Amino acid sequence: MAAAARMLRGTNAQGGALRMAERVFRLTLGACATFAILATAAIFVYLARTGVSGIAQAGIGDLTTGTRWKPEAGSYGGLPLVIGTLATALGAVLLGGIGSILAALWAVELAPKWVRATYRRFMTVGVAIPSVVYGWLALVHLVPLLRSFAVGIYGPDAQVGGEGIAAASLLLGTMIAPTIVILSFDAIAQVPQSIRDASYALGVSRVKTGLFVVLPYVWRRLLLALFFGFGRAAGETMAVQMVIGGARKLPENLFRPTTTISAQVVMDMQNARPGTTESNVLYSMSLVLLLVSVLGVLATHLLSRKSKGAP
């Protein structure tokens, strides 16, 4: 009896320690989740408060339609920054997004199984490459190539070069390609095999099955992948700054220097003292960039809700 009682007390003590450890673990998880929510909310609130203050000081009209960005002279025309951001991000999606989806389709539907697995792992490595590496390689190799191309189009006397929207779009298209490939790869791979078998039974080739059966089946998830790529391209800073030229003006063509919101914020923040109009206006432009990203997230959320019950 005594031995049984000691064993029972030991079991109860061990159970109590496990329950205590579980409660501590639950509290730790809750604290981490709460911290993440509060930190994100604090960033949004601070950026909104400071950004709205900058809009009030500079004027919403100048920030959205003005074409002269020169904070040191009290001029805050943000249109070149917005146009540069949207042009490079959309160009990146057009140049890198469609090809990435087709590459994922090839890997899943047409490539041998060993190539499929190797290809996805290789794309994972591509996602991990630092952006400054992409930017440096583009500055050394892509910019001179585009300069020669632009001179060939416009002539040797034209004011064109390798830096500009074309270089930034090609660079960003390359940078976002691995991410879009992986997201598209996973979406296509989850299409039920019965869908493909039904198409094959009707005599449709593998290529046509991939293009006209598989892709339409997962088009919403592929569109989500493009949205993610657009968001990364719009927010990229250092790599874009290395190849876009940094000119604070509207681009005259694809081969003339211009700038983007994130690149210009990095360039001007070192001279903007906290609390000044210059600093607040930079927060205003950052708020614009945030709103662009939020709209993209809301669009993806809406598409996800509409596609419930579908892959």
- CATH at residue 284: 1.10.3720.10
DSSP state letter for 204: -
User: Residue 180: exposed, middle, or buried by beta-carbon count in 10 A (0-12, 13-18, 19+)?
Assistant: buried
The mean pLDDT of 70-95, rounded to a whole number, is 89
- Host domain of residue 98: 60-306
Does some domain include residue 41? no
Of the candidates 107, 260, 111, the one whose C-alpha atom is nearest the C-alpha of residue 178 is: 107
**How far is Cα 10 from Cα 265, in angstroms, rounded to an integer?**
63
- Asked if the model's pLDDT at residue 178 lies above 90, the reply is yes
**How far is Cα 190 from Cα 108, in angstroms, rounded to an integer?**
10
pLDDT digits (tens, 9 = 90+) for 262-302: 888 888 887 777 778 888 888 888 888 888 877 877 777 77
SS3 (DSSP) at 75: strand
Provide the CB-side half-sphere exposure for 223 (13 A, CA): 16
> Structure tokens of 115?
């190539």
Does some domain include residue 311? no
Does some domain include residue 26? no
- Asked if the model's pLDDT at residue 184 lies above 90, the reply is yes
- Asked if the model's pLDDT at residue 152 lies above 70, the reply is yes
Element (H, E) at 69: strand 69-70
Residues 6+ apart with CB under 8 A from 257: 161, 163, 164, 244, 245, 246, 247, 251
Element (H, E) at 76: strand 75-76
For the chain, the domain total comes to: 1
Q: What is the pLDDT of residue 12?
A: 56
SS3 (DSSP) at 70: strand
Does some domain include residue 8? no
pLDDT digits (tens, 9 = 90+) for 227-259: 889 988 988 888 898 999 888 888 888 898 999
- Asked if the model's pLDDT at residue 310 lies above 50, the reply is no
Does some domain include residue 280? yes
pTM of the model: 0.83
Does some domain include residue 21? no
At residue 76, φ and ψ (nearest 5 deg) are -125, 55
Does some domain include residue 207? yes
Q: What is the pLDDT of residue 66?
A: 83
Residue 154 confidence class, pLDDT cut points 50, 70, 90: confident
Does some domain include residue 141? yes
The mean pLDDT of 202-219, rounded to a whole number, is 90
- How large is the angle between the packed helices 79-92 and 165-189, nearest 10 degrees? 40
C-alpha distances (whole Å) from 275 to each of 52, 227, 262, 281 are 13, 34, 20, 10
